[in-house]
Structure 1
Amino acid sequence: MARVCSIRGSRVRMGGKIHRSGLAKKKGGIGRHVTKVVKRSVSPNLHTKRIYVPELGRHVKVKLSAKAIKTINKNGAYVTLKKAGLI
């Protein structure tokens, strides 16, 4: 299974980390300089959960981000999963 949230569709994103060298002017140096930009990946905060849906009378196993879990707590399991097309 891919690292993708079933409800929100959050997935791994690519970003950049900037490497800097030198001492800041404030601290008596000649200033900071960018020497390199390195690619890095930013992963969503995923959890595999078994959620009980009372309307169906059964459990549903889904891979959710932390924000999607908060959405389920707010709107209810049945409404959220139905809107996402999982049930």
Structure 2
Amino acid sequence: MATAVTATSTLCYFKRQACPSSRPLSLKILANSELGFVTSQLSGCKISCKDDALAMAAKPISTLSRPPLQPAARRVCPFTGKKANRANKVSHSNHRTKKLQFVNLQYKRIWWEAGNRYVKLRLSTKAIKTIEKNGLDAVAKKAGIDLRKE
């Protein structure tokens, strides 16, 4: 599927701002049905092509569609912003080692009056107490969280 064509410096040249070397290098153009790009031995050098045929063969990589990455569940409370604390674990001999003190996060199903349904949230215990005291709508508005998405 992929055909390799060798191009010399007569068709492509290096810009002097990106790459100080002025000697000609051979470039390899890979023409594939979905992906065609220009590769060189030097990384970080910008390559510009004078020939339109080479420019047509080299599609920009940004046009490729990639599936969106799913964000990993972080150990941060969305309402209070609490996150892990770096601390020292101190032994009896006063030897200190680094450790993380994580937030006490709980999965909690809370009744949302405005939406007339339950909302499942991952909250810190401090946020649960604050919601019980002030109400879910007030705490979500103060934190800038839209509960309609959840």
TM-score of the superposed pair, with normalisation by structure 1: 0.76
Given residue 134 of structure 2, which amino acid in structure 1 is its aligned partner? N
Give the aligned CA root-mean-square deviation in angstroms.
1.3
Long gaps (5+) in structure 2: 1-72
Which 4+ stretches in 1 moved above 3 angstroms? Answer: none
**Which residue in the other structure is 1:86 paired with?**
145
**1:38 to 2:110 alignment:** no
Q: What is the distance in 2 between the residues matched to 1:81 and 1:14?
A: 27
Secondary structure of the residue that 1:17 maps to in structure 2? Answer: strand
Secondary structure of the residue that 1:20 maps to in structure 2? Answer: coil
Task: Flag the structure with higher helix content.
Answer: 1
Task: Flag the structure with higher strand content.
Answer: 1
**Highest relative contact order (Cα 8 Å, sep 6+), 1 or 2?**
1
Q: What is the distance in 1 between the residues matched to 2:139 and 2:110?
A: 11
1:36-66 Cα offsets, whole Å, 9 max, x none, are: 2111110111101121111221222211111
**Which residue in the other structure is 2:76 paired with?**
4
Paired residues, what number?
74
Long gaps (5+) in structure 1: 22-33
Secondary structure of the residue that 2:86 maps to in structure 1? Answer: strand
Higher Cα Rg: structure 1 or 2? 2
CA contact (8 A) 1:14 1:41 kept: yes
TM-score of the superposed pair, with normalisation by structure 2: 0.46
